[in-house]
Chains A and B, each alone.
Chain A
Amino acid sequence: MVDIIMQIAGVLIFFSIVFGVLRLILGRTVIDRVVAIDMLTVVSISLIALRAHLSGRFVYLDVALVYGLLSFLAVLAIARFLEKGP
């Protein structure tokens, strides 16, 4: 049962990365790309959590935690820059 759920999670993460990168390539405006990188951040955190479960080494969850904090900061800085203009 758990194996089937992990397989489904892996497939979902795969297609999320594919479509997110596709949106980044095709993105018409800057805001499309910012939302794409925000979505890819969340997908990356879930990928790290999946890896932590599969390998059984829970030190990887600390990396996911640090990554969630820092990427939130980067997206916030970009959004503030877009609000004010260059």
Chain B
Amino acid sequence: MLELLVLLVCGSILVSGILAVCLSDLMPAMISAGLASLFASVSYVLLAAPDVAMAEAAIGSGLTTLIFLYTIRKTSDGKE
């Protein structure tokens, strides 16, 4: 059962990474990148590395999303 869930999480990393590259709008692309980081963190836990997962959750999913939001707000100026 757990192997199937690991495979599903890794496939979801792949799908959200492809979405983050292929989407043309900035906001959904950033959300997809955050989701890739979320699933990477979950896969670290499933592969028995909880400290790496905690660092990934703090930096990859929290801090990167906030910095990207700040940058999009500073640079987009109301139009694409």
Contact = CB atoms under 8 A, between A and B. Distances in A.
Contact of A10 (B5, B28, B62): B5
Chain A interface, >50% SS class:
helix
Contacts of A84: 73
Interface residues of B, number: 39
A30 B38 contact: no
Interface string B50-61: 100110011001
Interface residues of A, number: 40
A37 B28 contact: no
Contacts of A41: 38
Interface of B: 1-2, 4-5, 8-9, 12, 15-16, 19, 25, 27-28, 31-32, 34-35, 38-39, 41-42, 45-46, 48, 50, 53-54, 57-58, 61-62, 65-66, 69, 72-73, 76-78
